[in-house]
Amino acid sequence: MTRVKRGTTSLKHRRKILKQAKGYNFGRSTKERQAKEAVIHAGAHAFAHRRKKKGDFRRLWNVKINAAIRAHGVSYSKFIHALKEKNVVLNRKILADLAEHHPGTFEKILKETT
């Protein structure tokens, strides 16, 4: 069997990991073993937090809607219930945007439901 020299492949892998770890603190950006572990953990957190971000946005929308509703003396839960009873099919993202940027339109929706 012929001899295989693997130096270039190993070096390429090493450089790839260190490039991904660029900007990390201390040995995590320069030492291969620490960099590899840091990159693996960073990837795991990035994966988990891409899903967590969706919930964070939903909570933000709820807060924006609630702030706009409270100014008119209505609770958030009663407003959402009224929307469902009247078959208004606007989601929370759109409602939050209307509450923040188009308060006049949001007030019309509020009057329609209550």
Per-block mean pLDDT, blocks of 10 residues, the chain (114 long): 83 94 96 96 96 96 96 94 93 96 95 87
pLDDT score at 35: 97
Would you give the distance in Å from CA 44 to the centre of its chain? 15
CATH number of 9-113: 1.10.1900.20
**Confidence (pLDDT) at 114:** 80
Token pair, residue 110, equals 């509020």
CA distance 68 to 76: 9
> How far is 35 from 32, CA to CA, in rounded Å?
5
Show the DSSP H helices in 24-75 as ranges.
Answer: 32-70
Three-class secondary structure of residue 22 per DSSP:
coil
What was the pLDDT predicted at 44?
A: 96
> What are the domain boundaries of the chain?
9-113
- Specify the pLDDT at position 101: 96
End-to-end CA distance of the chain: 83
